Amino acid sequence: MSVTTTDVQIEPAERRHAEELAFLAAHDSGPRPPGWRLTPRSVVVFIVGSAGAKLRLADPVDGLPAAMEITPKFVGERGLVERCVVTLAGERGLLLVGEPGTAKSLLSELLSAAVSGTSALTVQGTAGTTEEHLRYGWNYALLLAKGPTPEALAPSPVLTALRGGRLARVEEVTRCLPEVQDALVSLLSDRRMAVPELAGLTGSGTGADLDDGIFLARPGFNVIATANLRDRGVSEMSAALKRRFNFEVVPPIADLDAEVTLVRRQAGAALARHGHELPVDDAVLEALVTAFRDLRSGTSAEGWPVERPTTVLSTAEAVGVTTSLGLQSAYLDVADPLSLLPGYLLGAVRKDDADDQGRLLAYWDSTIRHRAEKGARLWKRLYELRHVVGE
């Protein structure tokens, strides 16, 4: 049975934005790095958008519109995206680091979709990730029947990317054990992967990329890894591995309006999958995002000090809370979404440390109380709901 849009919750970027990718490939015929689907300039435009302008094709292409506006998909500095693209074009590994929830994985996915046409060649780093996840395993039925042959090999996403000249993604690389991380060192240096069991196999019938048991990287192969700065229990990267990556820090969204717009768009898309519009008005949404930003930064918008909770109140978390407000309002007939905000905010804050409830209550008794005293009706209503946080 074929899979349609209605059969999945979230489509990968290469399917979700397939028309834009096809349009950009036809629009810009400039030079492309070996193995790339788009020019570096088009990769940047795909991610940050065309700034409201419509791009036009020089010649008609069947199935594509004559002009198209490219939507922004990542909220951040264009310079950051350009540096990432240049790093990949230079065949150097890219490591995206930052606080949890700053869209590192989204940026990695978008880069892979634009450069390689697929974001699926991904390894999720955990304490249980083994070297096989980064290198290869075996189809044991074929291994027993035929011995170690290329057909019996079960390649990892990284080996598949190496052989196909595509980008591989390694999520949460610092959650992998050091000996697992070390599998990337020679891979990023030598651009090859040895399979000793296949030594002696070369040439016809084994694939042109196999030379005496060594798979050679095709043009376009590279690695994008991500790492969180505040997660606990991670494995420090070796100096050798660090040298093989260019580090790019993905910061939280600096602009309030930009963050509100992103939260509205992402939560609205989640509600649309349920057949509902987002029933949270702009004032409530701005109050929610403002509270997240205050608690995240340790300073209110007015410059008042705020005690930061230990948990990371990311933009992604704000999207989750907004989606929950919308779903409860839509399915359970809640007339006042603002009344739900303190409960969901408490749930977000208390994830790591029970003492964070006290920090949230202190925020209510300082920042929210000050805003209520200044006469803002919405903040007065929130302060009246203090008992929800203090229960």
Closest to 125 measured CA to CA, from 85, 185, 178, 190: 178
Q: Are residues 290 and 336 in the same domain?
A: yes
For residue 8, name the pLDDT band (cuts at 50, 70, 90): confident
- Of the candidates 230, 249, 268, which is a domain's last residue? 249
184 pLDDT more than 70: yes
Q: Are residues 240 and 96 in the same domain?
A: yes
For 210, other C-beta atoms within 10 Å of its C-beta total 19
Q: Decide if 316 is inside a domain.
A: yes
Q: Are residues 197 and 276 in the same domain?
A: no
Strand ranges inside 111-255, DSSP E: 122-124, 136-138, 153-155, 167-171, 192-194, 210-211, 214-216, 222-228, 245-249
Q: Are residues 152 and 125 in the same domain?
A: yes
Closest to 17 measured CA to CA, from 152, 100, 114, 90: 114
Mean pLDDT of the chain: 92
User: Bridge-partner residues for 224, per DSSP?
Assistant: 94, 169
* Range of weakest confidence among 131-140, 229-238, 302-311: 229-238
C-alpha to C-alpha distance for 112 and 104, rounded to whole angstroms: 12
Q: Decide if 20 is inside a domain.
A: no
Q: Are residues 238 and 339 in the same domain?
A: no
Q: Decide if 31 is inside a domain.
A: no
C-alpha to C-alpha distance for 356 and 348, rounded to whole angstroms: 10
pLDDT digits (tens, 9 = 90+) for 330-363: 999 888 899 999 999 999 999 888 899 999 999 9
For 85, other C-beta atoms within 10 Å of its C-beta total 24
Domain that holds residue 184: 75-249
Q: Beta strands 192-194 and 214-216: pairing type?
A: antiparallel
What CATH number did the domain enclosing 149 receive?
A: 3.40.50.300
6 pLDDT more than 60: no
Q: Decide if 160 is inside a domain.
A: yes
Q: Decide if 269 is inside a domain.
A: yes
For 355, other C-beta atoms within 10 Å of its C-beta total 11
Q: Are residues 149 and 100 in the same domain?
A: yes
Core vs surface per residue 292-318: b (16+ CB within 10 A) or e? bbbbbeeebeeeeebebbebbbbbbbb
pLDDT digits (tens, 9 = 90+) for 371-380: 999 988 999 9
Q: Are residues 87 and 127 in the same domain?
A: yes
Q: Decide if 48 is inside a domain.
A: no
pLDDT at position 233, please? 56
pLDDT digits (tens, 9 = 90+) for 238-258: 899 999 999 999 999 999 999
C-alpha to C-alpha distance for 189 and 70, rounded to whole angstroms: 36
Q: Decide if 136 is inside a domain.
A: yes
Q: Are residues 238 and 270 in the same domain?
A: no
Q: Beta strands 153-155 and 136-138: pairing type?
A: antiparallel
Q: Which pair of tokens denotes residue 142?
A: 């074929």
pLDDT digits (tens, 9 = 90+) for 89-121: 999 999 999 988 899 999 999 999 999 999 999
Q: Are residues 200 and 228 in the same domain?
A: yes
Q: Are residues 300 and 195 in the same domain?
A: no
206 pLDDT more than 50: no
Q: Are residues 372 and 346 in the same domain?
A: yes
Could you tell me what percent of the chain has a pLDDT over 70?
Answer: 95
Q: How many domains does the chain have?
A: 2
- Of the candidates 210, 231, 249, which is a domain's last residue? 249
The C-alpha R_g of the chain, in whole angstroms, comes to 24
- Of the candidates 182, 215, 249, which is a domain's last residue? 249
Q: Decide if 45 is inside a domain.
A: no
Q: How deeply is 9 buried, as exposed, middle or buried, from its count of CB atoms within 10 A (0-12, 13-18, 19+)?
A: exposed
C-alpha to C-alpha distance for 358 and 371, rounded to whole angstroms: 19
Strand ranges inside the chain, DSSP E: 54-56, 67-69, 93-98, 122-124, 136-138, 153-155, 167-171, 192-194, 210-211, 214-216, 222-228, 245-249
Q: Are residues 245 and 287 in the same domain?
A: no
